[in-house]
Chains A and B, each alone.
Chain A
Amino acid sequence: MTSCDKYQTGIVALFDNEAKDEDLRLVAGHLQDCPECRAFCLELVGIRRVLVSASVPSLSPAARQAVLDNIKADQSDRGESRARNCARFLHFGGLWRWAAVLVIGSLSIVCFVLGGTARDLRLKLGAAEQQVAAIHEEAKRAASEERQRKAISALYFRMAELEERVNRASPSQRASAAQGYDGPARESNL
């Protein structure tokens, strides 16, 4: 980098309104002593003047129209493609609808069949539960009768035992016993 490079950077920034105040002071001081940088400045001004005075042609009406036409064509293309997509969607939508009807129908039949089976099974289960309950009831009754029969047997056995004991006793004892019959005591013996 030559000694003038940093000043020329400052000059360019100055021309573009991008220089800071200290750059301005630095460049102003340098320009007084440096003919090369003064020439650089003058050239910049000359180039800028030429560029500013250079006329730029306008966009031709045909090109302008072409831009607008392209945009409108793009918009209508998008509209058409949206319509096409919509139609395609509806077409596929029809297919999907039929498929859905088929699936729903199949599922309904399956549900109906399974539902009938389930109903039958439920009825069978109810009947089986009733049978089990009846058997339980029967078993309970049988057990109760058995208990009663055993109790009666035990009672008969005890009575027989008592009669035998009474027969073995002496006649005097039997008479006294007959005279002083004590119901409750006898019952307690029983």
Chain B
Amino acid sequence: MGTYTDEELMGLAQKQDISAFEELFRRYEQRIFAFFWRLSANRQEAEDGTQETFLRLWKARVRYEPAGKFSTYLFQIAKNHFLHEREKRDRRMNSQQPSAKNPPGASGEPASSDRADGRMLARERQTAVSEAVARLPETLRLVYVLTEQEGMSYKQAAEVLDCPVGTVSSRKVEAVRRLRELLQPLRDELLHDEER
């Protein structure tokens, strides 16, 4: 199974070959989990998103046509699930708590600079940056995670998000600007760390 391309494996999965699908799952499980993790900064949401994405892929395998890259197709499913879940959650929150706007764990407090332990400091910085990414608006966050953290080109990200390449470019710049604003309290540390 290791020598097959993703598209070939998907073709086998279309013929009910579950081992081919398991191979695809092994290849992409971590990337999809990381994608959801970076979008939500929440383990449970990331695991649920991963499960749902692969289940949807399994159910949609009959309709799959190897026109583009398989990874693009898979990330499209993941993105659609993410947006669908967000929409559901927003609707629920609007009906229950109209005033609750900040996501949980998004305090944005900078890491305490008086901690002696460097590793602890670095971890807190990572948490702060991850939380800042998670606080970006969904459209900007998706572009940022796909291009910055998944390493996709603007063209591939545009295919996943079903929008023009120029939109990806402008959203990416906007995401970076918003991120700088959110990480303003950490600015000195980021710059200082870079200069060191």
B4 at interface by CB-CB < 8 Å: no
A49 interface neighbour in B38, B58, B194, Cβ under 8 Å: B194
In the complex, A67→B190 CA distance in Å?
39
Among B64-72, B96-104, B134-142, B175-183, the stretch in contact with A: B175-183
Nearest A residue to B179 via CB reads A47
B34 at interface by CB-CB < 8 Å: yes
Given contacts A12-B172, A40-B180, 7 further A-B contacts (CB under 8 A): A16-B147, A43-B190, A46-B189, A50-B122, A59-B30, A67-B51, A67-B55
Produce 1/0 per residue, B139-158, CB < 8 A to A: 00000000111000110000
In the complex, A56→B42 CA distance in Å?
11
Do A56 and B25 touch across chains, with their CB atoms under 8 A apart?
A: no
Sorting the interface of chain A by its residue count into under 10, 10 to 19, 20 to 34 or 35 or more gives 35 or more
Nearest A residue to B130 via CB reads A54
B106 at interface by CB-CB < 8 Å: no
Q: Within 8 Å CB of B154, what residues of A?
A: 16, 18
Do B195 and A67 touch across chains, with their CB atoms under 8 A apart?
A: no
Give the shortest distance, in Å, between B57 (CB) and chain A (any CB): 9
Give the shortest distance, in Å, between A123 (CB) and chain B (any CB): 64
A56 and B34 in contact, given A43-B191, A50-B125, A50-B129 (Cβ under 8 angstroms): yes
Name 10 A/B residue pairs within 8 A (Cβ), A-sorted: A9-B170, A12-B176, A16-B154, A42-B191, A42-B194, A47-B129, A55-B126, A58-B33, A68-B22, A71-B54
Do B173 and A63 touch across chains, with their CB atoms under 8 A apart?
A: no
Do B50 and A67 touch across chains, with their CB atoms under 8 A apart?
A: yes
In the complex, A148→B179 CA distance in Å?
132
In the complex, A109→B157 CA distance in Å?
72
A53 and B190 in contact, given A59-B33, A67-B50 (Cβ under 8 angstroms): no
Do B29 and A67 touch across chains, with their CB atoms under 8 A apart?
A: yes
Do B190 and A46 touch across chains, with their CB atoms under 8 A apart?
A: yes
- Which residues of B does A touch, CB under 8 Å? 16, 18, 21-22, 25, 29-30, 33-34, 37-38, 43, 47, 50-51, 54-55, 58-59, 122, 125-126, 129-130, 133, 147-149, 153-154, 169-170, 172-173, 176-177, 179-180, 183, 187, 189-191, 193-195
Give the shortest distance, in Å, between A140 (CB) and chain B (any CB): 83
Do A59 and B50 touch across chains, with their CB atoms under 8 A apart?
A: yes
Q: Within 8 Å CB of B125, what residues of A?
A: 50
Nearest A residue to B51 via CB reads A67
Interface SS, A side:
helix
Give the shortest distance, in Å, between A16 (CB) and chain B (any CB): 6
Do A12 and B43 touch across chains, with their CB atoms under 8 A apart?
A: no
Q: Within 8 Å CB of A8, what residues of B?
A: 173, 176-177
A145 at interface by CB-CB < 8 Å: no
In the complex, A117→B97 CA distance in Å?
85
Nearest B residue to A45 via CB reads B194
In the complex, A126→B97 CA distance in Å?
97
